[in-house]
């Protein structure tokens, strides 16, 4: 797993997991419906402090972020989308 910590507590991570049930962030599956993008499954939402989080899953890979301020989620989405697209080639 590679994670990147940013000022203010934002975290971006990319992981290859043998055990795909490993939880890298708590996701309430009752309140979050998975979406499909680039043949991956992802969850995205806003936490109780109005910060964005996301986790994308494909095969043994998980990539995500948490504690992202409003308006900054697009940059982090781009990072995960780029990773997802190039990993599948």
How high is the pLDDT of residue 37? 81
pLDDT digits (tens, 9 = 90+) for 36-69: 887 889 999 999 999 999 999 998 999 999 999 9
pTM value is 0.89
Q: Residue 88's pLDDT is what?
A: 58
Domain that holds residue 79: 2-87
Long-range contacts, 79-86 (Cβ 8 Å, 24+): 79/12, 80/42, 80/54, 80/56, 81/37, 81/38, 83/14, 84/37, 84/38, 84/40, 84/56, 84/58, 85/38
**How far is the C-alpha of 78 from the C-alpha of 13, rounded, in Å?**
13
pLDDT band at 86 (very low <50, low <70, confident <90, very high): confident
Mean pLDDT of the chain, nearest integer: 91
**Burial of 86 per CB tally in 10 Å (0-12, 13-18, 19+):** exposed
How many domains in the chain? 1
Task: Write out pLDDT tens, residues 21-41.
Answer: 899 998 888 888 899 887 889
Q: What angle do CA 54, 76, 23 make, to 5 degrees?
A: 30
């Amino acid at each position: 797993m590679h994670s990147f910590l940013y000022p203010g507590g934002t975290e971006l991570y990319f992981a290859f997991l043998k055990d795909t049930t490993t939880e890298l962030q708590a996701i309430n599956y009752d309140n979050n419906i998975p979406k499909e993008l680039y043949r991956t499954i992802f969850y995205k939402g806003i936490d109780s402090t109005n910060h964005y989080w996301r986790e994308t899953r494909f095969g043994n890979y998980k990539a995500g972020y948490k504690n992202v301020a409003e308006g900054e989620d697009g940059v982090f989405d781009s990072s995960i989308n780029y990773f997802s697209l190039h990993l599948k080639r």
